[in-house]
Structure 1
Amino acid sequence: MTKQALIVWGGWPGHQPKECADIVAAMLKEDGFDVVLENTTEAYTDPALGDFNLIVPMVTMSTIEKEEVEGLSNAVRAGTGLAGFHGQMADSFRNEVRYQFMVGGQWVAHPGNIIDYTVQITKPDDPIMQGISDFPYRSEQYYMHVDPNNEVLATTTFSGEHADWIAGHVMPVVWKRRHGKGRVFYSSLGHVAAELEVPSMRTILRRGMNWAARD
């Protein structure tokens, strides 16, 4: 049976959600998914939501109705995969703790805005990370509130140049986790669509989405 993926995009336009959605849809189609794109969180109230193998949220700084987050959470808890990146998954609904509980983290700052930093691979033997070494990256370096239940696959270390009190602090960049029976994958990389063409970022995201979909 063909795998089914749902991409829901919207919210703050600075993250280029439509452009990112189109790129991710093409990636998933290359990997054998049938892809549905929606630009409203009303899609999460569809009774057939649980028929999808994978949901990719791409909504930043927005709001969500109670029945929408319940529909999404119930689908993931029942076994649908959830995977995404940057603020499009981890800065979606700042007032909705049930959503944050599912994702495993919430963005709170990116000191210095667009800067150069290093992504450090912490689990090189994990299938998502195999063959990928530490790599330099230029983007927002996300400082996040994170769930200690996450299985962290990559981190970054803050230099303190832009906020001296966090010098030396190590922050998760990529993680995977469970929510009920569902697999959840997250990467904080990917501020704008052009970053989806960075080989290491693209490979990590692609593998993470397939892992979440149980492929």
Structure 2
Amino acid sequence: MTRKALIFHGGWDGHEPGPCSGIVEALLAAEGMEVTRVEGTAILATADLRAFDLIVPVMTMAEVEKAEVAALGAAVEAGCGLGGFHGGMCDTFRRNTEYQFMTGGQFVAHPGNVIDYRVEMVAAGDPLLQGIGDFDYRSEQYYMHVDPRIEVLATTTFSGEHAPWVAGTRMPVVWKHRHGRGRVFYSALGHKAAEFDHPQMKEILRRGLLWAARDDN
């Protein structure tokens, strides 16, 4: 049976939600998934989210109705996967802690804005990272508040150049966890659409989204 994915996008234009969500749509379609891509959050309360195997938010700094987040949470708890990247997933609804409880983390800062930094694999034996070693990356280096129960797959270390008080801090960049019966995947990489040209960034996201998608087989 063909698996189904929902992508909802919008919010701050600086993260290029339209182009980024289009790239993700093509990525999932290439894996044989049936993809619905819509702008805004209304579909969260109007559609039967249980019909989807994966939900991908590509939305930053947006407002959301309580009923919409409640419906999303119920779907994930029942087994629908949740996956995404950068501010499109972990800075989506800043004022909604129920949503943040699902994602496992929330963006709070990116000292120095767009900078060069290193991404280090800390769970190299995980199938999601197989064959992917440490790599250099240029983007916003996300400083995040994270749930201590997430399973961290990759980290980055802050140099302290732009915020001396965080020097040496190792911050999760890629993680996975469970919310109810649902699988949740997140990568902090992907500030703008051009970053999908980075092969490791795109491959980690591809694998993570496929892992998160419900599979009842």
Give the TM interval when normalised to the shorter protein: over 0.9
1:40 Cα deviation (Å)? 1.3
* Number of the residue aligned with 2:10: 10
Q: CA deviation at 1:33?
A: 0.3
Matches within 5 A, 1:133-148: 133-148=133-148
Distance 2:47 2:39 in 1: 18
1:119-198 equivalences under 5 Å are 119-198=119-198
Shift, 1:214, TM fit:
3.9
Partner SS for 1:128: helix
Question: Within 2, Cα distance between the matches of 1:193 and 1:143?
Answer: 21
Determine the C-alpha separation between the residues in 2 that align with 1:163 and 1:197.
Answer: 29
Q: In 1, are the aligned partners of 2:80 and 2:214 still within 8 Å (CA)?
A: no
AA aligned to 1:210 is: L
Seq. identity, %: 61
Match of 2:56 in 1: 56
How far the C-alpha of 1:94 sits from its partner, in A, is: 0.9
Q: Is 2:53–2:81's contact at 8 Å kept on the other side of the alignment?
A: yes
Deviation at 1:47, TM superposition (A): 4.6
Equivalent-residue separation in structure 2 for 1:47 and 1:25 (angstroms): 19
Output the TM-score relative to the length of structure 1.
Answer: 0.99
The amino acid of 1:178's aligned partner reads R
Q: 1:197: how far off?
A: 1.7
Distance 2:86 2:151 in 1: 17
* Structure 2 residue ranges without an equivalent (≥5): none
Per-residue displacement from partner, 1:105-163 (whole Å, max 9, x unpaired)?
00000000000000000001111100000000000000000000100000000000000
SS in 2 for 1:137: strand
**Residue pairs, 1:35-46, within 5 angstroms:** 35-46=35-46
CA shift for structure 1 position 203: 0.3
Q: State the Cα distance separating 1:48 from its structure 2 match.
A: 1.4
Query: Shift of residue 176 of structure 1?
Result: 0.1
**Separation in 1, partners of 2:77, 2:214:** 14
Equivalent pairs counted in the alignment come to 215
Using the alignment, how far apart are the partners of 2:103 and 2:111 within structure 1?
22
5 Å matches for 1:66-77?
66-77=66-77
Kept in 2: contact 1:46–1:71 (CA 8 A)? no
Structure-1 separation of matches of 2:212 and 2:102: 13
The equivalent residue for 1:111 is 111
AA partner of residue 144 (structure 2): M
Following TM superposition, where does structure 1 have runs of at least 4 consecutive aligned residues deviating by more than 6 angstroms?
Answer: none
* Residue of structure 1 equivalent to 2:84: 84
State the Cα distance separating 1:91 from its structure 2 match: 0.5
Deviation at 1:46, TM superposition (A): 2.9
